[in-house]
Chains A and B, each alone.
Chain A
Amino acid sequence: MSFQNMGKSAMRVGKNYVKGYTDVQVKVREATSNDPWGPSGTQMNELAQLSYNQNDFIEMMEIMDKRLNDKGKNWRHVFKTLTVLDYLLHAGSENVVIYFRDNIYVVKTLREFQYVDEAGKDQGGNVRQKAKDITNLLMDEARLRDERRGRSNMRDRMQGSNM
């Protein structure tokens, strides 16, 4: 971990404390931070499990909503939140699906997300593509149901083989 990133993560710890985020919210913030690596499978899986608890679910949505509406400079917040959302739509609770069907416009309107960084690199393209993919998935009820079923079958099989 570079020194700069250490500074950032120390800041995040401070902010978590000052703003009174709950443990679940801290987990979402960690998974969708500005660090230049993606959310880990372990992190996403944990969030997916937590989404089955109604209270945890509400707390998660609060942070995810903030992150999705973040400014261009924080494009990583937006991109990683879309990554987590994609995972939750497949493996999280049905509530995630219902919530984002209701609020699909939050994702849909990210299909023209723009951010060009100081080096002149277009960082918006990743967000635009992911927003498009998730919008299509949310609008295709049959496909989403299929993919969710496939995912839970796989989980059952894997858990079965552990026994």
Chain B
Amino acid sequence: LPTRPVDREKAERELNDNIKKATNADETAPKQKHVRKCMVYTWDYHSSQSVWTGLRVLPILNDEVQTFKALILVHKVLQEGHPIVLREAQAQMGWFETCARTVGGDSMKGYAPLIRAYVQFILAKLRFHRHHKEFNGLFEYEEYISLKNIDNPDEGYETIMDLMNLQDGIEQFQKLVFAHFRGSGHNECRISALVPLVKESYGIYKFLTSMLRAMHRRTDAMDALEPLRGRYNAQHHSLRRFYYECANLKFLTSLINVPKLNHDAPNLFDSRDEPSLP
């Protein structure tokens, strides 16, 4: 299947090792080199079954840090793995629910509420992708999708609402992560959960901007779009605050570039396709 020079048997063996190392009990960020190997595996073989099997057979759920790291791993593979991961994850609801259920109410290191909220967010993301198969895991901008949706304004409206709901879900979860930072210690493990959230929220933001602009170009009923404009502006300001807080976390800015948004939300009546950003 892959055009790369690969060896499937070796890949399967190494995959289990990579899952194990990415989800070990150290209270640190899951190592990106191990996460990357999982992503590359799903692209090479167009399958994520071995990833799910690997997660099930390892004793991850006995430990709150390991469970949290497993969720970060899964989130990243959903985002940047082969699109089939989003489809195959639909059959893993049971595993996600077990993650949320297994962790006790009074966990020692305080990850229990984060785990439950993370599971809730990932389930919401999976529901979105079940209804909107045209989006990839990072909502990377593709002009044709936004054009396709505005041909049918009702469908476009609904897609925008669903995207905005997901964006609100990110907002709630990131606030909870910040609220659980501990004065002592470096919070590296918690901060590393913000990395996929920054990427995903920015993908959604760019998409919403381009889609709303396209809708404004095509429609005569500007009033009908007023509620969307209001909500878009509110989300712009929340995101701007989120990115500002992220930009102050040195560990996070050493991993990714955090976008910087202008004070004012982009003008939706503008004809440019992307928000003007660095």
Contacts and interface: CB of A to CB of B under 8 A. Distances in A.
Nearest to A58: B5
Contact of A106 (B40, B254, B255): B40
B3 interface: yes
Given A109-B40, A114-B255, A71 B33 contact: yes
Contact of A61 (B5, B32, B195, B255): B5
B40 A112 contact: no
B33 A72 contact: yes
A109 B37 CA distance: 9
Contacts of A53: none
Contacts of B36: 109-110, 112
A105 interface: yes
30 contacts: A61-B4, A62-B5, A65-B4, A65-B5, A69-B40, A71-B33, A72-B33, A99-B3, A102-B3, A103-B2, A103-B3, A103-B43, A105-B39, A105-B40, A105-B43, A105-B80, A105-B82, A106-B40, A108-B80, A109-B36, A109-B39, A109-B40, A109-B80, A112-B195, A112-B255, A112-B256, A113-B32, A114-B32, A114-B33, A114-B255
A97 to B, nearest CB: 13
Contacts of A114: 31-33, 255
Nearest to A69: B40
Interface string B1-21: 011110000000000000000
A163 to B, nearest CB: 39
A117 interface: no
A122 interface: yes
Contacts of A105: 39-40, 43, 80, 82
A65 B40 CA distance: 12
A105 B31 CA distance: 18
A122 B254 contact: yes
A65 B3 CA distance: 11
A40 to B, nearest CB: 26
A78 to B, nearest CB: 11
Contacts of A108: 80
Interface string B245-278: 0000000001110000000000000000000000
Given A103-B3, A106-B40, A108-B80, 19 more contacts: A65-B5, A69-B40, A71-B33, A99-B3, A103-B2, A103-B4, A103-B43, A105-B40, A105-B43, A109-B36, A109-B80, A110-B36, A112-B32, A112-B195, A114-B31, A114-B32, A114-B33, A114-B255, A122-B254
Nearest 3 CB-CB pairings of A with B = A105-B43, A109-B36, A62-B5
A124 B30 CA distance: 16
Interface in B164-215: 195
Contacts of A61: 4-5
B111 to A, nearest CB: 23
A121 B36 CA distance: 22
Interface string B75-95: 000001010000000000000
Contacts of B32: 112-114
